[in-house]
């Protein structure tokens, strides 16, 4: 998998490449905005998790964390999230030992 850094306003779609948005904040904008947590339950989401993470990372809000709740996935969902986590420090993974369901996973 190839990674390319793009600015948060870019919308580039080329087959077989993952684009990780990257931006800098001037004057420490993140510290003056309330922190927003995006909780993303995920069960066997290897086919869709990349698009979901890219979409969330493309948001322009400066002080956001993404919490992916891996709800007992048996596919490569966790590996894909970890590949994003290597470039984006605001992504956290929580692993459920088994499939608890979407409602319980949102309330972990």
Render pLDDT for 40-64 as a digit per residue (tens, 0 to 9): 999 999 999 999 999 999 998 989 9
Q: Which one has a higher pLDDT value, 53 or 15?
A: 53
Nearest CA-CA partner of 39 in 71, 62, 7: 71
Tokens for 22, please give them. Answer: 């990257």
Residue with tokens 């800098």: 24
Q: What is the pLDDT of residues 71-106, one digit of tens each?
A: 999 999 999 999 999 999 999 999 999 999 999 999
| 104: helix, strand or coil | helix
Q: ∠ at Cα 36 (77, 28), nearest 5°?
A: 110
Give the helix/strand (H/E) hosting 41.
strand 36-42
Give me the sign of the Cα torsion angle 105, 103, 35, 5.
Answer: positive
pTM, whole model, 2 decimals?
0.72
Q: Which one has a higher pLDDT value, 17 or 12?
A: 17
Q: Which residues contact 74 (CB under 8 A, 6 or more apart)?
A: 44
Residue range 2-30: mean pLDDT, rounded: 49
Q: Which CATH architecture has domain 33-106?
A: Alpha-Beta Complex (3.90)
Alpha-carbon distances, residue 37 vs 60, 67, 68, 85 (angstroms): 14, 7, 10, 15
- Residue 11 carries which DSSP code? -
């Amino acid at each position: 998998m190839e990674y390319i850094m793009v600015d948060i306003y870019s919308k580039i779609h080329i087959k077989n490449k993952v684009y990780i948005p990257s931006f800098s904040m001037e004057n420490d904008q993140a510290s003056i905005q309330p922190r927003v947590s995006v909780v993303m339950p995920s069960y066997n989401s290897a086919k869709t998790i990349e698009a979901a993470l890219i979409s969330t990372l493309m948001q322009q809000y400066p002080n956001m964390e993404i919490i992916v709740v891996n709800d007992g996935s048996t596919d490569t969902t966790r590996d894909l999230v970890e590949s994003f986590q290597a470039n984006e420090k605001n992504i956290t993974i929580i692993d459920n030992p088994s499939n608890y369901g979407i409602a319980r996973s949102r309330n972990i």
